[in-house]
Amino acid sequence: MAATLAATVLTLQPAPVSAEAGRQPESKPAGPSPQTTQESDGHSVTPAQRARMAAEEPLVQAALRIRAAAQTAKASGFAGVALRTGTVTVYWKGTVPPDIRKAIDQESAKVPVAVQKAAYSAEELARAADELTRKMRVLSDRSVVSVGYPVTGTGITATVAGAKTPPALADVKVSVKVVRVPETAASTGRQRTPSIPGSERNKAARPADSGSRTTGTTAVGGWPIPSRQDDATPAWGGAHVINANATGGNNGWKTRVEGTGEVVYVDNKYHCTSGFPVQLNGTTEEAMVGALSCGGPHRTFVDPSGDVVNIPTNGIAVDPFSGISMTVPKGGAEPFIYDGDGWSQTGWQIAGWEAPVAGQSVCVAGAETGNFCDATIGDEVGTQTALISNSQGDSNETRNMTNVHTHVHNGPVWPNRRAYRLADGTPCNGFEFLRDVDEQGCLAVPLGRGDIGAPLYTVPATGTQTGVIIKGILVHQHDGDGQNPNSYHMVGVDKIRATYIVSPLTSANDQP
């Protein structure tokens, strides 16, 4: 269904939380093929990963109900809840009140539940973190680049640029852990973005044979049509988009130089991932949720071929602190996200969404490096505030982010390294973690800068047909060279729907 323009307002709306049987969309010659068979070629999640996600789903539902009960009751001692090796663990300061103990007992009849003591409640930590960020804002002190606190209730963590300790940290009333990053890494934001030398510079050529995967050395293109690099109409989530109005690049895509084999950046443009589809304002009007750092709804986005993929509009109001924006895709959207590598023509159907839970296994559907299913929701769920560089060279203060840890399990697909495709179709590998790139110039981290905006999701069932559950979108990479390159940040769908009137676009409500 074609999208129309609509303004958003601040409100909270309920949303489905469980998967439903997948539905094949009507045949559309221009569209990719949705994934309907388990672990087929090009499918990112392994049988072990999928089984783990399915096993976690009852724990997740129990954790969400306990968290909702504590938040509804405004219970002052609640610190958080997490999945810990097959157990739902509730962190609480002081004595658990009778009504919450009853809710915990009800869930413990279904799944294992444990209660552990917390030093501070979530309310105390939120108040301390908010006060710290407020003081830093008033002082125009940007040396604290992020603040957050975990569900364990142990205190707050402040990431500080440079060697000096801001005086405001001494006034914090709870335990504070200081993590330092080099001042240059935090203050400069983006790195310099070189381009391909010679006649191929900044060139995006559509291939003559739309079904081929060419391996030409410097020509950009050769991807299948449609695919992440040349999205379907109606649009899918997880596609490659480029902000045509950006004032600088973000090192979002690479290619190989002919003759030398050197891996270099394709251009100095701002590359991102398209996010996931929603319906606006409780209507059938369709949009894509994306990372605000990639650009707002009034910006023009193109695909790598140069085709405009959205309808720029000033009619969608954006909360500058949310980290989230909306775009209106040309031709509307479909309830699917891409799967597989950056060249994929397959995808997952979307069944709904639910809030993130600490310790939960998730996949990331990034346009640059493809889908990655070795990621876990960290302990800072919806509690991170950070300064994030945007496409105009500035930085926004983004609140309510969730930490995401990427890692590698020994398994049948990527024991220590994995292959992904460059812009010209040639392969690269990752997972050295010594620096951002390896000796060839290939990414040595799981997710690239062009993956920002990627949907995070779970596969909550092991059947041959199932929809995936969206958990949120990727909005931020690690804070600097001194930070763990496995650490990223997302904004959960609970925070998104608390800011915008949106509902999930699924097979159940999609319009023909």
pLDDT tens digits along 75-120: 899 999 999 999 999 999 999 999 999 999 999 999 999 999 999 9
* DSSP per-residue letters across 30-90: TSPEEP-STT-TT--S-HHHHHHHHHHHHHHHHHHHHHHHHHHTT-TTEEEEEEETTEEEE
Nearest to 188 by CA among 137, 251, 138, 267: 251
How many CB atoms are closer than 10 A to CB 112?
A: 14
Residue 215's pLDDT is: 28
- Examine the pLDDT at 437 and tell me if it is beyond 80: no
Q: What percent of the chain has pLDDT over 90?
A: 52
Residue 69's pLDDT is: 97
- Examine the pLDDT at 61 and tell me if it is beyond 80: yes
pLDDT tens digits along 136-163: 888 888 888 889 999 999 999 998 888 8
Residue 10's pLDDT is: 21
Average pLDDT over residues 271-300: 94
Q: Enter the DSSP assignment of 26.
A: P
Average pLDDT over residues 449-472: 89
Residue 475's pLDDT is: 96
How are beta strands 270-273 and 240-243 bridged, if at all? antiparallel
Residue 400's pLDDT is: 95
Average pLDDT over residues 313-338: 94
Residue 407's pLDDT is: 78
Residue 188's pLDDT is: 37
Residue 18's pLDDT is: 28
Give me the chain's average pLDDT, please.
81
- Examine the pLDDT at 201 and tell me if it is beyond 80: no
- Examine the pLDDT at 16 and tell me if it is beyond 50: no
Show the DSSP H helices in 211-314 as ranges: none
Do the Cβ atoms of 283 and 301 come closer than 8 Å? Answer: no
Residue 166's pLDDT is: 84
Q: Enter the DSSP assignment of 447.
A: S
Residue 4's pLDDT is: 31
Average pLDDT over residues 447-470: 88
295: left (phi over 0), alpha (psi -120 to 50) or beta: left
Q: Which of 53-62, 352-361, 469-478 has the lowest mean pLDDT?
A: 469-478
At 442 the three-state DSSP class reads coil
Say what the pTM is: 0.85
Report the alpha-carbon distance of residue 392 to residue 379 in Å, rounded.
Answer: 31
Q: Which two tokens stand for residue 139?
A: 């002082």
Report the alpha-carbon distance of residue 445 to residue 436 in Å, rounded.
Answer: 6
H or E element at residue 480: none
Residue 446's pLDDT is: 84
- Examine the pLDDT at 272 and tell me if it is beyond 60: yes
Average pLDDT over residues 184-188: 43
Going across the sheet that includes 301-302, the strands are 270-273, 240-243, 301-302
Residue 220's pLDDT is: 55
Average pLDDT over residues 390-405: 91
Average pLDDT over residues 373-381: 94
Nearest to 218 by CA among 257, 249, 270, 273: 257
Q: Which of 173-182, 252-261, 429-438, 467-476 has the lowest mean pLDDT?
A: 429-438
Residue 203's pLDDT is: 32
Residue 445's pLDDT is: 80
- Examine the pLDDT at 402 and tell me if it is beyond 90: yes
Interacting residues of 32 by C-beta distance below 8 A, sequence separation 6+ = 226, 227, 232, 236, 336, 338, 344, 345, 346, 347
Higher pLDDT, 512 or 428: 428
Q: How confident is the model at residue 36 (pLDDT cuts 50, 70, 90)?
A: very low
Residue 214's pLDDT is: 28
Q: How confident is the model at residue 207 (pLDDT cuts 50, 70, 90)?
A: very low
Average pLDDT over residues 419-440: 74
- Examine the pLDDT at 508 and tell me if it is beyond 70: yes
pLDDT tens digits along 315-326: 999 999 999 999
- Examine the pLDDT at 410 and tell me if it is beyond 70: no
